[in-house]
Structure 1
Amino acid sequence: MGAVLFDFDMTLVDSSHAITHCMNGLAESRGLRLLTREEVLSTIGLPIEEAWRVLWGRYDPAWTEEYRARFRGVEQSLLRPFPGTVSVLRSLRERDIRTGVVSNRRFARVAVEATGLVPLADVVVGLEDVERPKPDPQSVLLALDRLGVPPEAAAYVGDTDIDMATARAAGTLGVGMTTGAFDRAGLLAAGASLVLDDLRELEGALGLASLEVPRVGS
């Protein structure tokens, strides 16, 4: 039996509009430059503090406190699963394929719960569970350890170069999604073995008879 692990933002859910709305709420509160969706999209996948350093050139811990208090709930209420997310996760589980979410979000389970996807995930790993964020493979390897599935029998699905680097470092198959800021060429250049435009293509692309892939370095 294998496993398919998923990044959360822009892989399972469209969070770009929600995050842009809430970051701009913070910007207005703190006198910072307003952001476009495209700018925010380019940083989704980074820990939020790092994203703010990229977008605004600096970071103040008080921003995190205000964002959690005023905007996190709003953001979660605006998250929308992509078409096919629920059906794909359900179908994988019906085929005895373990599923999970591995994200650079802190307290990722709260966001997964907000979208109603927790019953379809056998494991959820967020930034609070590990010492180092993706592209370090620690979070993916922790999820697989909890599932009892070896890396060579697993795939990691994500929308960024960070996700593909994580998959390679963990020794899993990297599946890129063009639903985020990266196109097919960018994902392939980052190390994706497969690139899909729609999550509903996943099962056919993987075959799922076996998820065994060579370990990195083998």
Structure 2
Amino acid sequence: MTSLPSLPSDLPFEGIVFDLDGTLIDSVPDLALALNALLREEGLPPVEPAQVPGFVGQGARILVGKAMTAVGRPVADEGAGAAELDRLHDRFVALYEAKPVEGTRPYDGAEAFLRALHARGVRLGVCTNKPHGATLGVLEALGLAALFDAVVGAGLIPERKPDPAPLRLALERMGIAPEQAVMVGDTPYDVGAARAAGVRTILVDFGYSPVPPAEVGADILVSSYAEMPAALARLRSVTKPA
């Protein structure tokens, strides 16, 4: 069994909420498989896996819309186009949920970090724009579900990040106040939700951010989970967002 990383003796928070795709897990292999299965059914050319990170972050509906645009068949999300996008979205989610972890894996060190936090009694949550059912399925399949006190995926409530409502719901279910929480993510949507909720932020720079991670405005930027213990210690000097 992999040894757990050492954490600071005095953690300056009670709970951490994680984004999922691009933060805890690299899900591009399975997202690409499901997207290409959908495109194949529609008689369209495939997308390259390298394109998929640019589609991720705002939920499955927007992911599908971006993929359709990328292959030359854009679908307007209004009028008849909205119904077509609904159909494509629902089919994509069904294809994805059927095989969610063929190639998906936690990032190096992510699982050990989660287990170290859990062993210390830190409350853990997931707040993601990934569909809620798919989120639960991925966490179960990867053996991570039992580590989390709250999981909030898209569809549980109407709002999605960067709206703070999903993050606030996760914190409510975890039983912690915003000033006692940290959000770990990889995109501006994570930092935007955290800022609006009054939560401190750590951003990983290896995820799916549509802009350079250093420009997102997180409190702390890390390049690996090996850097997380030191980042947690640095949070003592970070004040709660106004």
Q: Which residue of 2 aligns with 1:199?
A: 225
Q: Which residue of 1 aligns with 2:4?
A: none
Tell me how far 1:209 sits from its aligned partner: 8.2
State how far apart, in whole Å, the 1-side matches of 2:156 and 2:94 are. 21
Are the aligned partners of 2:24 and 2:110 in contact in 1 as well (CA < 8 Å)? yes
Are the aligned partners of 1:151 and 1:215 in contact in 2 as well (CA < 8 Å)? no
Tell me how far 1:210 sits from its aligned partner: 5.3
Q: What is the letter of the counterpart of residue 216 of structure 2? A: A
What percentage of aligned pairs have identical amino acids? 29
State how far apart, in whole Å, the 2-side matches of 1:70 and 1:144 are. 31
Q: Which residue of 2 aligns with 1:123?
A: 150
Corresponding residue pairs, total: 215
Are the aligned partners of 1:164 and 1:187 in contact in 2 as well (CA < 8 Å)? no
Tell me how far 1:198 sits from its aligned partner: 0.8
Could you tell me the TM-score, scaled by structure 1's length?
0.89
Q: 5 Å matches for 1:25-64?
A: 25-56=37-68, 57-58=74-75, 60-64=85-89
Tell me how far 1:69 sits from its aligned partner: 3.4
Q: 5 Å matches for 1:1-218?
A: 2-56=14-68, 57-58=74-75, 60-107=85-132, 108-182=135-209, 186-207=212-233, 213-216=239-242
State how far apart, in whole Å, the 2-side matches of 1:51 and 1:78 are. 19
RMSD, aligned α-carbons = 2.1
**Alpha-carbon distance change, 158 to 206 in structure 1, aligned in 2, over 3 angstroms:** same
**Alpha-carbon distance change, 32 to 85 in structure 1, aligned in 2, over 3 angstroms:** same
Tell me how far 1:33 sits from its aligned partner: 3.6
State how far apart, in whole Å, the 2-side matches of 1:198 and 1:69 are. 32
Unaligned runs of 5+ in 2: 1-12, 69-73, 76-83
1:60 is paired with a residue whose SS is helix
Q: What is the letter of the counterpart of residue 77 of structure 1? A: E
Unaligned runs of 5+ in 1: none
Tell me how far 1:211 sits from its aligned partner: 9.0
Q: Which has the larger radius of gyration?
A: 2
Tell me how far 1:129 sits from its aligned partner: 1.8
Q: Which has the higher contact order (CA 8 A, sep 6+)?
A: 2
**Alpha-carbon distance change, 20 to 215 in structure 1, aligned in 2, over 3 angstroms:** same
